Amino acid sequence: MITYQRSYLRYNRHINAEPFRNLFSAPIKKFYRNVTISQTMIPGERSPVYEIQLDQRKLRTPGGKAVLVPNEVLALALAREWDSQKNTIQRHCMHLTTLCNRVLDWQSELETTSILEGIMQFADTDTICFRCQEPDELVKLQRDSWDPILQWIVERYSLRPMLTNSLVSPVTMSRADRSVLTRHFLSYNRWGLIGLQACAENLKSVFLTLAAVDGFCSAARAVELSLLEQMFQIHRWGEVPSYHDVQMAEMKARVSAAIFLVLISHHQKHSKNKMNRKNFQCLASYDAE
């Protein structure tokens, strides 16, 4: 059984990771029975951190570092992820652990530039800025589904998203808009940056990432919007949807974990701006996926 200090937290069961160095090869038999969390202090720091134990053994990253997270809710979510494993440890469905490992094995501040570039690469290739010219049904579907997101981006961030119909001539974001986005992303700490990068990589969209993080749409809706053309073709040509259903479910789990990390790592500093009612609904919805 898992020891919880909060009974209200419920998190997505479909969560990908590499906890210990010797867990890189395929599924390993579950070697622990109890998962607990505890509060501890790091010398020189004012705020406590939380660690996770597997049968009294500290959970560690692939780099050998103890998994220490900045708040209790994140620790509970990680503990839930480990406690939900059955007979074998399914690393492929432990997305939150994977993200936290990346943060904790952060090599240097130089990595900030690399992560920021990883997010901003989608500024000129954003999924919802590429529009089809035919068929008419898809053109209308893209306009009706994506334009509200872009209009919100204009109003919320004062950006000017550019649209294109050409895959060989991507749009180029203006220097001013790029500067606005860069400053915004740099306001996040490393936990938030890792979550933002994972979200943008999965959605292939900076704008959908912003909409989901700010609560304009849910993580699930952001995924659906990012796969709009693919799902249109499936329904149009009557393809067997089972594989695509699994693909979408897995993508929703990855994006949900990424957004969870962004929100929970910033809820104290940006409580009024980030953790609004829609954000909490988004967090609560993970367990239902």
Are residue 96 and residue 225 in the same domain, yes or no? no
Burial of 101 (C-beta count, 10 Å sphere; 0-12/13-18/19+): buried
The total of structural domains in the chain comes to 2
Range of the domain at 73: 21-100
Domain boundary among 38, 72, 100: 100
165 domain residue, yes or no: yes
Domain boundary among 59, 77, 100: 100
Q: Give first-to-last CA distance, the chain, whole Å.
A: 23
Per-residue pLDDT tens over the stretch 133-171 = 999 999 999 999 999 999 999 999 999 999 999 877 777
Are residue 66 and residue 148 in the same domain, yes or no? no
Q: Which residues of the chain have pLDDT under 50?
A: 1-25, 270-289
Record the pTM.
Answer: 0.83
Burial of 288 (C-beta count, 10 Å sphere; 0-12/13-18/19+): exposed
CA–CA dist 178, 262 (Å, integer): 21
Q: How long, in residues, is the chain?
A: 289
CA–CA dist 112, 197 (Å, integer): 11
153 in Cβ contact with 207 (< 8 Å): yes
The per-residue pLDDT for 170 is: 72
Rounded mean pLDDT of the chain? 84
